[in-house]
Structure 1
Amino acid sequence: MSRITLPRGTRRTPLAVAAATTAVLLAAVPAAAHVEVESPGAQALAENVRLTFSAESESATAGITELRVVLPKGIEPADVTYGEGPAGWKFTTTADGYSVKGPAVKVGADVEHSVVVRQLPDAKELAFKTLQTYGDGKVDRWIELGASGGDDHGHGHGNPAPVLKLKAAAPGARTVSPSPSSPASASGAPAPTAEKTPVGSSPQAADTAKEDDGGLSSGAWAGIVAAILVAVAAAVFLVRRRGAAQG
């Protein structure tokens, strides 16, 4: 039986085609951008825990300018303080979490920032919904809980929120008292207390006292009492004098 031998170049063609096709397919698949939160060894009810968030850029034309994080149940905005972040970025609390924002970072650059939480709640995992904004106004929404129903890219809907897994609470760990909510308490200054102002210690109080006494001052009342005593003494003197004359 005769054996057919293909030319050397022809035998390599299928391999070359397969390699080229694979390269094209890999190039066509975009990188899976996402936002992550990490805290090595995090435990439920642990105190003063540092959380580090890393947000990957998905834009080829604009840099990231803001990350807004919605805090999970059990963590209040007052429980969070800023750690580190991009140069020039500022930290502010919101009604349901916090925001870090500032000048746009370099196009294509990822953003990392950290916060310190006063105490983690007693839970198995915590989801931090995150909105990632770019300098051109585009927003990546990482807000879905549980299984993702989207394309794992922040532009659409159904993109998974970053989740932090927690270990079981340490034996004896307890929930600390709630964070102070008033601005004065948060700054470390004692909360103002209501004090009663003694009557007569202010012009307004003095005016009120005069009105309560019928408009007469204490000096006027003293004069009236003195006049009455003089009149009584005079009457007694006259009565005694008349009795002595008649006798």
Structure 2
Amino acid sequence: MNTTHTRPLRRRLGLAAAGSLVLVAMTAGPAAAHAEVTASDPRALAENVTLSFTSEAESDTAGISELRVVLPTGITPDAVTLKDAPKEWKLTPTPDGYAVGGTALATGTDAEYSITVRQLPDAKSLAFKTLETYGDGKVSRWIEVPTGGEKVDNPAPVLDLKAAASGAKPIAPSASPTPSTVPSAPPSAAAAAAPPASAASAEKDTGGRTGAVVGVAAAVVLLAVGIVWWLRRNRGRGQA
């Protein structure tokens, strides 16, 4: 066989094989989500359901210290209680969900915890957007919700639900949550921009005092000008 023709042929075959591997790697996508959720009873309208979450540790320098979750529509912060979590970790409700965390876990340790939900909503799937915070301040955002079977880089934990059991109905909402269990929503941008009432009052008082001082000063100046004018007038009359 002519080696002159064999070498280019081998080169083309090698390039084709490498291209095929790259194509497979690009279309394969991630093997599994880095944050996942499972349920003890994954049915719509199921009551007192335990949801278990696992967040894979990705940092080589720090451990996970907090997980903040945005609850899907139909689950309110007051309908969630902590069932199991790493030692000394606590759950704190937030306006749109909850945060669970405490002492940072050992580097490389996955964060696993579970909550109890009073009732799951009547839906086909639930997405729990999650922010992972590490002890060094790094934040990983698993907040993308895939649609139409597409692949995403940072998928949120998604729970697929089965149809509701026969006769299942939404339970009545609980009474208004107490301030100790659910914090009030953060102030709006307008409220945040406005100064506190005490500061506004102090500013108003200061402005009033400033205006009074300016007024008195102006009166003193006018009085002094008047006195000088009167003295000059009387002096002119005396000389005449």
1:91-118: CA deviation from partner (whole Å, max 9, x where unpaired): 1100000010101100011010000000
Q: In structure 2, what is the equivalent of residue 202 of structure 1?
A: none
1:75-134: CA deviation from partner (whole Å, max 9, x where unpaired): 000100111101011111000000101011000110100000000000010000000000
Give secondary structure in 2 for the equivalent of 1:83. strand
Q: In structure 2, what is the equivalent of residue 110 of structure 1?
A: 110
Percent of paired sites with the same residue: 61
What RMSD, in angstroms, separates the aligned Cα atoms of the two structures?
Answer: 2.6
1:142-182: CA deviation from partner (whole Å, max 9, x where unpaired): 001125665x3xxxxxx111000111000110000012224
Give secondary structure in 2 for the equivalent of 1:114. strand
Higher relative contact order (CA 8 A, sep 6+): 2
Q: What TM-score results when the alignment is normalised by the length of structure 1?
A: 0.58
Output the CA distance in 2 between the equivalents of 1:41 and 1:110: 24
- Size of the aligned set, in residue pairs, is 154
Q: In structure 1, what is the equivalent of residue 58 of structure 2?
A: 58
Output the CA distance in 1 between the equivalents of 2:33 and 2:100: 19
8 Å CA contact retained: 2:58, 2:108: yes
Relative distance call for 1:59 and 1:171 in structure 2 (3 A) is same
8 Å CA contact retained: 1:33, 1:58: no
1:226-247: CA deviation from partner (whole Å, max 9, x where unpaired): xxxxxxxxxxxxxxxxxxxxxx
Q: In structure 2, what is the equivalent of residue 125 of structure 1?
A: 125
Task: State whether structure 2 residue 166 is matched by structure 1 residue 171.
Answer: yes
Q: What TM-score results when the alignment is normalised by the length of structure 2?
A: 0.59
More helix by share: 2
8 Å CA contact retained: 1:89, 1:101: yes
Output the CA distance in 2 between the equivalents of 1:55 and 1:160: 12
Output the CA distance in 1 between the equivalents of 2:58 and 2:32: 9
Q: Structure 1: which amino acid aligns with 2:72?
A: P
8 Å CA contact retained: 1:41, 1:167: no
* Unaligned residue ranges in structure 2 (runs of 5+): 1-20, 182-240
* Unaligned residue ranges in structure 1 (runs of 5+): 1-21, 153-158, 187-247
Output the CA distance in 2 between the equivalents of 1:36 and 1:53: 6
Q: Structure 2: which amino acid aligns with 1:99?
A: A
Q: Structure 2: which amino acid aligns with 1:73?
A: T
1:203-231: CA deviation from partner (whole Å, max 9, x where unpaired): xxxxxxxxxxxxxxxxxxxxxxxxxxxxx
